[in-house]
A and B are shown apart, each in its own frame.
Chain A
Amino acid sequence: MDGPPRWRSFPGSFRLGRQRGQRPADGTGWSGVIERLQAANVPVRAIVNPLRGITSDSAYVASVFSQIPGRVLAVGHSYGGAIITNAPTDAGNVVGLVYVAAFAPDEGEALQDIEAGSTDSVLNAAIRPSARRTIPPDQPPRPPSSFPSTRRRTMTPSPVIFRKRTLPSRPPRKGPSRPPPSVGRTVHPDGKSFPPGQSSRPATRRPVPMWCFQWPRAPRSRLPKSRDRT
């Protein structure tokens, strides 16, 4: 392809089990995709996702979008789906959205509510109280928890359950089973596995075309009968 490319893709990555204060998602998970897109002469940028909340993250990503000359195809993974849903409002040059195993929230929806109501997510069912870490008592009050205060321990995805349900194709490893680093983070007992905030814009009725990469499919034998599509 000759001449300057016209289209730019902006993957937004996301780290599972993150908490506020953890390092942001740096987008390196997109390396394989970026290499392929660049090989096709598609200019790509991986935007660092601050993971501070839908409102501020969307504003930041929108500011990056708006500084790019030309039209933008926004690509979001997981939590990044909520960001590309909201960011185009402030950036006028987004012409399409691609959700890669991503949230596509409706207006006013919080991701925790989507996750809680999903029968397809394997994260909630795999979370177990951690025996090692507790939440310091001087931490500020948090939203109402479904766990009693005496059990306000941090929650950790059960390595065995999580791995069986999320990484069915992963070859077995020798030694003790551990989750991969990206999914082994502790999760707050309030279920705060997502940055806070609600979507201010619906993923439906978007004025731009959208594509959705379906939540990855596990082997049929390991799936519950009822599935909620993302």
Chain B
Amino acid sequence: MATRAKVEIAEVEGSHVIMISQPQAVTDIIMKALQTVA
């Protein structure tokens, strides 16, 4: 799905609820997205 949608991909080890197990990694990509659309 990510490939066909041609999105920028980040990958990290963790559980499906990755925002709980890796909140900093998820925050980082959200901040990156914010900076891009700003």
Contacts and interface: CB of A to CB of B under 8 A. Distances in A.
Interface of A: 6-7, 9, 11, 16, 29-30, 32-33, 35-37, 40, 42, 71, 73, 75, 77-78, 95-96, 98-101, 103-106, 114, 166-170, 182-183, 203-204, 206, 209-219, 229-230
Contacts of A230: 1-2
A211 B10 contact: yes
Interface residues of B, number: 36
12 contacts: A7-B37, A32-B24, A33-B27, A35-B23, A96-B33, A167-B15, A169-B13, A204-B4, A210-B8, A211-B7, A211-B32, A229-B2
Given A96-B33, A114-B1, A218-B13, A210 B7 contact: yes
A216 B13 CA distance: 5
A212 B36 contact: no
B13 A212 contact: no
A229 B30 contact: no
A170 B34 contact: no
Given A105-B1, A213-B10, A217-B12, A75 B30 contact: yes
B31 A103 contact: no
B31 to A, nearest CB: 7
